Amino acid sequence: MPNNQQFKLKTKFIGTRDVHEYRQTIGTWVSELDTVLEIGCEWGTTTVQIAPACSRVVGTDVSADCIDRARREHPECEFAVLDAFDVRAAADLASELDIERFSKIYIDMSGLSGYRSLLDTISLLTMYATVLRPEAIVIKSASLKHFANLCQPWRGHDGVSRKSRRQPAGD
């Protein structure tokens, strides 16, 4: 049975359909105080767009070739090799770079857009939200965005959520 002591995620998840929407979120979701981790940065095209909007950004990719090219093309930005499924390595990367916390995470990994990978996508988001506890994760996943559009939290018959109702004494 769920209870009030049970751990609840506070991270917001923002699903975007394509790279255009993914980059469009920067103006809304990244602010000058943020330290941002991008996962699946390829050659760093989005990383360099995030950079002027935040205090620090680190672009990462599983491919060492991509990271070499990103470093060559954008020497002003920080890049590192990272396999997204190794969340422990992501936490270690933060310590190595003397980063207290990644406040925002951007994820654009090949293979996460289709419906068949929806469960992998949700477990990846949950892992990052649990271990790194960012305020928000922006992810490029058309299936997650579609699924989220179909979800609707039940607010009760009067449309008011239980949480915002005053509990009678002893309830």
Ligand X SMILES: C[S@@+](CC[C@H](N)C(=O)[O-])C[C@H]1O[C@@H](n2cnc3c(N)ncnc32)[C@H](O)[C@@H]1O
Task: Give the nearer residue to ligand X in terms of CB position, either 34 or 61.
Answer: 61
Contact 129, 14 (CB under 8 A): no
Least distance (Å) from ligand X to the CB of residue 28? 17
The span from the CA of 140 to the CA of 126, in Å, is: 15
The span from the CA of 63 to the CA of 81, in Å, is: 7
Interface residue with ligand X, options 36, 41, 51, 124 (CB under 6 A): 41
Contact 141, 113 (CB under 8 A): yes
Interface residue with ligand X, options 26, 36, 39, 77 (CB under 6 A): 39
Pattern 49-78, binding to ligand X, x per CB under 6 A? ------------xxx--x------------
Contact 62, 86 (CB under 8 A): no
End-to-end CA distance of the chain: 17
Pattern 81-100, binding to ligand X, x per CB under 6 A? --xxx---------------
Interactions with ligand X, residue window 104-123 (CB under 6 A)? 108-110
The span from the CA of 82 to the CA of 90, in Å, is: 7
Of 76, 42, 73, nearest to 57 by C-alpha is: 76
Task: Give the nearer residue to ligand X in terms of CB position, either 77 or 109.
Answer: 109
Least distance (Å) from ligand X to the CB of residue 31? 20
Interactions with ligand X, residue window 2-21 (CB under 6 A)? 19
**Residue 155 three-state SS:** coil
Task: Give the nearer residue to ligand X in terms of CB position, either 131 or 160.
Answer: 131
**Which residues of the shown chain bind ligand X in the complex (CB under 6 A)?**
19, 39-42, 45-46, 61-63, 66, 83-85, 108-110
